């Protein structure tokens, strides 16, 4: 360990692309586009993720003789937007204790609630030792600069035990995911629902067809520059409809860079009346290995159930045909569950550097996590599947009692 050099990098451009992606490939052999060097670099280069927007890149690299042997994508945050792990009650608690909650250090792929965060460690190194060492370096950095906390979001379940063993506290949140248990086509997917929901899905798809619309999946060379501009316009328009809560994070330059240099990961679902290159609504999904992620959508027309068709049904139909095993439609939306998305726990890991705050949260977490498991069990018990269908389930609930929001009193 003595021969290692730790460096803090304020931009992905300071780290060689090949070196970063080699570590990523070892950590995620199936591919995780949101942590590729180009994805993270273009977030910065497009001015989407920059200090002006409350994100200061602060990536940790461990080097040995000029070789990158471990890395962690990290950001100093001045707010909690774009994380989708809602810690505003934590910020309130810090205020009650007379402490400043921000800035905080966050490990994630910015504005993407995608499971898989971990330290990227060369496969011939000891992952347990490197995890502990990197956490010590992070602790020193945070304490030296007066940073209140370090938070790793949507962590890789395979890495989670290593970080927990090194002292990270685990907080569970809920997200929905579709898994393919062996469906051969959309009709098989439809057959998994009870009669009422089958009728409802058929009605929703018919409403879109009756409006004269069809949906086409576009990937690879079919994703032309004009279509990317259109997708960004849909995205911006949809965000604008929600006013100050619209969460428009990504610039058009990021969309352009992704379509140019990450095109193999993109899938657009175009709703159109003629040419798929002239959509009236569209969604953007990201593919990696046998996994599909739903990200953004927008529409120029008001058509009943069009959102469900473009964002859920057409992607699921395409995913089945492509051999995709898992489809994560994104954060939020209880309506997802009525369309086959099963509630699952997602873990975030935390380190707090204020002793009383740390004690309060660690005392609160076991009950809060047990309550989350109970909520997931209750939600999944109400899914509209046939009695014979057994969807992919969340893990068995852990013992414990429910807990309320933590307080300083």
- Per-residue model confidence (pLDDT) at position 396: 40
Tokens of 246: 């619209």
CA separation for the pair 40, 45 (Å, rounded) = 9
Domain ranges of the chain: 5-174+344-381, 181-324
Encode pLDDT of 72-91 as tens digits: 999 999 999 989 998 999 99
Tokens of 370: 């047990």
Same CATH topology for 5-174+344-381 and 181-324: the answer is: yes
Encode pLDDT of 360-394 as tens digits: 999 999 999 999 999 999 999 989 998 666 676 54
Which residues, 6 or more positions from 95, have their beta carbon under 8 angstroms from its beta carbon? 101
Q: What topology does CATH give the domain 5-174+344-381?
A: Aminopeptidase (3.40.630)
CA separation for the pair 257, 263 (Å, rounded) = 9
CA separation for the pair 207, 305 (Å, rounded) = 7
Tokens of 121: 């460690």
Grouped pLDDT means (10 residues each) for the chain, 409 residues: 88 98 94 96 96 95 96 96 92 95 97 96 97 98 97 98 98 94 95 95 97 96 92 90 70 94 96 95 96 94 95 97 94 80 95 97 97 94 80 46 43
CA separation for the pair 39, 42 (Å, rounded) = 5
- Per-residue model confidence (pLDDT) at position 405: 43
| 181-324 is a CATH 2.60.120.560 domain | no
End-to-end CA distance of the chain: 44
Please tell me whether residue 72 adopts helix, strand or coil conformation.
strand
Please tell me whether residue 396 adopts helix, strand or coil conformation.
coil
CA separation for the pair 295, 329 (Å, rounded) = 7
- Per-residue model confidence (pLDDT) at position 337: 82
- Mutual orientation of helices 252-261 and 225-240 as an angle, nearest 10°? 140
Counted residue by residue, the chain has a size of 409
Handedness of CA 330, 336, 342, 348 (dihedral sign): positive
Q: Where are the alpha helices (DSSP H) in 329-393?
A: 355-381
Which residues, 6 or more positions from 344, have their beta carbon under 8 angstroms from its beta carbon? 174, 175, 176, 177, 376, 394
- Per-residue model confidence (pLDDT) at position 58: 97
CA separation for the pair 125, 108 (Å, rounded) = 22
Please tell me whether residue 87 adopts helix, strand or coil conformation.
coil
Please count the other Cβ atoms lying within 10 Å of the Cβ belonging to residue 140. 11
| pTM of this prediction exceeds 0.85 | yes
């Amino acid at each position: 360990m003595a021969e290692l050099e730790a460096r803090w990098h304020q931009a992905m451009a300071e780290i060689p692309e090949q070196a970063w992606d080699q570590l990523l490939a070892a950590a995620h052999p199936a591919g995780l586009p949101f942590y590729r060097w180009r994805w993270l670099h273009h977030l910065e280069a497009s001015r989407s993720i920059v200090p002006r927007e409350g994100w200061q890149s602060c990536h940790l690299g461990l080097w040995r003789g000029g070789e990158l042997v471990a890395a962690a994508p990290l950001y100093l945050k001045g707010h909690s937007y774009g994380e989708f792990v809602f810690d505003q009650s934590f910020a309130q608690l810090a205020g009650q204790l007379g402490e400043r909650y921000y800035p905080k250090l966050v490990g994630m792929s910015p504005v993407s609630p995608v499971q898989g965060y971990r330290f990227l460690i060369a496969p011939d190194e000891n992952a347990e030792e490197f995890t502990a060492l990197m956490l010590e370096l992070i602790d020193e950095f945070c304490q030296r600069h007066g940073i209140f906390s370090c938070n790793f979001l949507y962590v890789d379940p395979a890495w989670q035990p290593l970080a927990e063993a090194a002292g990270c506290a685990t907080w569970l949140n809920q997200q929905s995911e579709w898994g393919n248990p062996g469906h051969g086509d959309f009709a098989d997917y439809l057959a998994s629902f009870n009669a009422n929901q089958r009728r409802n899905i058929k009605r929703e798809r018919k409403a879109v067809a009756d409006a004269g619309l069809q949906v086409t999946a576009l990937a690879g060379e079919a994703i032309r520059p004009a279509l990317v501009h259109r997708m960004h316009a849909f995205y911006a328009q949809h965000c604008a409809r929600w006013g100050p809560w619209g969460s428009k994070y990504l610039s058009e330059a990021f969309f352009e860079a992704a379509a140019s240099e990450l095109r193999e990961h993109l899938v657009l679902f175009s709703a159109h009346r003629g040419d798929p290159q002239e959509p009236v609504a569209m969604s953007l999904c990201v593919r990696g290995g046998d996994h599909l992620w739903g990200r953004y959508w927008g529409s120029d027309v008001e058509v009943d159930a069009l959102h469900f068709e473009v964002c859920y049904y057409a992607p699921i139909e395409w995913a089945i045909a492509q051999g995709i095993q898992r489809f994560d439609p994104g954060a939020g939306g209880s309506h997802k569950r009525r369309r086959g998305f099963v509630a699952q726990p997602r873990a975030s890991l935390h380190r707090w550097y204020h002793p009383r705050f740390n004690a309060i949260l660690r005392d609160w977490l076991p009950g809060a996590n047990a309550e989350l498991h109970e909520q997931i069990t209750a939600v999944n018990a109400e899914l509209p599947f046939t009695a014979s269908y057994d969807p992919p389930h969340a893990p068995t609930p852990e013992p414990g009692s429910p807990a309320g929001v933590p307080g300083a009193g």
